């Protein structure tokens, strides 16, 4: 039977990580994979996570199944983290959260739930978007389309083009937004631009679907949720999918959440029970450990403070790297002004150089960025930032 299957190429991002491991370049630097690193190149376990894990080891007396929807502390904690205290209370009776295996699991579960509600639904993505959005959502059976988003000449959002495109999307279609720290470009909307987007969504009858995988990495935990909170406040139906991989550092634990905000309590119950039924038909329920950690942190004031401080530190570290990287790059060459990088947010930016130059960085200098020229700022460090900026300048000046 399996002779009918073709051998598939590796995932473009994960495959490049494998290629990096094999490289024997003495100065190799991996800026391709979307993982946070400290200045020593480590991706540490958060102190709050370690403390929560210890607490779980001490307290847990059974590994019996939990409710399919997920750990109650996790569900409540994520509802409040995403929506903020006030909205979390006011929307309690017409919204629900499900614990999922990572942000990818949340995207897939939300997509399948949407498919159950409307098999002809179309989901609009920004151009460009994170590479896994298309396969995740299309394989659930949904139709996809694209709206313009990024201006390659400025390195920022092409807001006029985006807004004009949203104005003509048919009512009832879903529009996927990166709530903050747009992946791959790092180009985000300002609060007043989000206000205008939600005005259009309201007028047009669009259903916003927010992917929030980097809450706290842009400006702050609250600022980064601005977009989805104003949508949730004003619109009858909103979907939010969240990943705890980055802002809790739980990558391998596969922890995420799907939040459905519905028109009324009855529809909220229908969305939730459909999502639960879809889980049962594939993986039955989410793994517990990561959600247990998040639930333990978010239900304990001391651990929450400890965790928030760690997120603030990460956010500041990435912002400092952006500034230093830009200053060094601009001082070492004059072919391109890289100042837009300081206006981008989160871990990623497009370098905006030619593909040929990106490939040269890889083959000649051992510096790995994606073919799209996306690079992960957090892969920079005091040990490699001079080498990286010297190499980029050398390639541009050739």
Ligand X SMILES: Cc1ncc(COP(=O)(O)O)c(C=O)c1O
Residues that bind ligand X (CB under 6 A): 34, 102-104, 130, 178, 183, 211, 213, 243, 245, 256
Q: In this structure, are residues 218 and 189 in contact, taking their beta carbons and an 8 Å threshold?
A: no
Element (H, E) at 138: helix 133-138
Residue 325 to residue 378: CA distance in whole angstroms: 11
Number of H-type helices and E-type strands within the chain: 15, 13
Is there a contact between 32 and 13 (Cβ–Cβ < 8 Å)?
yes
Least Å distance between CB 255 and ligand X? 7
Active site positions, annotated: 130, 211, 246
Shortest CB 349 distance to ligand X, Å: 14
Beta bridge partner(s), residue 172? none
CA distance 93 to 264: 8
* Sheet with 256-261, side-by-side order of all strands: 95-100, 256-261, 238-243, 207-212, 174-178, 122-127, 143-148
Nearest CB to ligand X, comparing residues 178 and 272: 178
- Could you tell me if 48 and 299 are in contact, meaning their C-beta atoms sit under 8 angstroms apart? no
Of 247, 279, 304, 262, nearest to 51 (Cα)?
304
């Amino acid at each position: 039977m399996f002779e009918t299957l073709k051998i598939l190429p590796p995932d473009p991002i994960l495959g490049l990580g494998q290629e990096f491991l094999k490289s024997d370049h003495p100065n190799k630097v991996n800026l391709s994979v979307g993982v946070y690193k400290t200045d020593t190149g480590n991706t540490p376990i958060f102190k709050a996570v370690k403390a929560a894990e210890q607490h779980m080891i001490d307290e847990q007396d059974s590994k019996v199944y939990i409710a399919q929807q997920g750990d109650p502390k996790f569900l409540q904690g994520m509802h409040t983290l995403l929506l903020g205290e006030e909205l979390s209370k006011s929307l309690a009776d017409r919204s629900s959260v499900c614990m999922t295996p990572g942000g990818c699991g949340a995207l897939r579960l939300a997509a399948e739930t949407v498919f159950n509600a409307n098999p002809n639904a179309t989901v609009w993505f920004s151009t460009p978007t994170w590479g896994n959005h298309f396969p995740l959502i299309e394989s659930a059976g949904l139709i996809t389309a694209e709206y313009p988003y990024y201006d390659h000449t400025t390195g920022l959002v092409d807001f006029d083009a985006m807004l004009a495109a949203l104005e003509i999307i048919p009512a009832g279609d879903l529009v996927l937004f990166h709530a903050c720290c747009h992946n791959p470009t790092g180009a985000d909307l300002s609060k007043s631009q989000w206000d205008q987007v939600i005005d259009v969504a309201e007028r047009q009858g669009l259903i916003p679907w927010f992917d929030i995988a980097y809450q706290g990495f842009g400006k702050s935990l609250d600022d980064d949720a601005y977009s989805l909170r104003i949508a949730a406040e004003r619109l009858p139906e909103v979907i939010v999918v969240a990943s705890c991989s980055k802002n809790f550092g739980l990558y391998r634990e596969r922890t995420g959440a799907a939040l459905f905000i519905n028109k009324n309590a009855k529809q909220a119950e229908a969305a939730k029970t459909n999502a639960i039924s879809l889980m049962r038909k594939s993986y039955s329920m989410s793994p517990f450990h990561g959600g247990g950690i998040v639930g333990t942190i978010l239900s304990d004031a001391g651990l929450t403070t400890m965790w928030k401080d760690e997120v603030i530190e990460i956010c500041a570290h990435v912002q400092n790297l952006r500034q230093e990287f830009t200053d060094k790059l601009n001082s070492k060459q004059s072919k391109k002004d890289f100042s837009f990088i300081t206006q981008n947010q989160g871990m990623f930016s497009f370098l905006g150089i030619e593909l040929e130059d990106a490939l040269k960085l890889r083959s000649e200098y051992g510096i790995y960025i994606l073919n799209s020229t996306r690079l992960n700022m957090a892969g920079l460090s005091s040990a490699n930032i001079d080498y990286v900026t010297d190499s980029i300048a050398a390639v541009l000046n050739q």
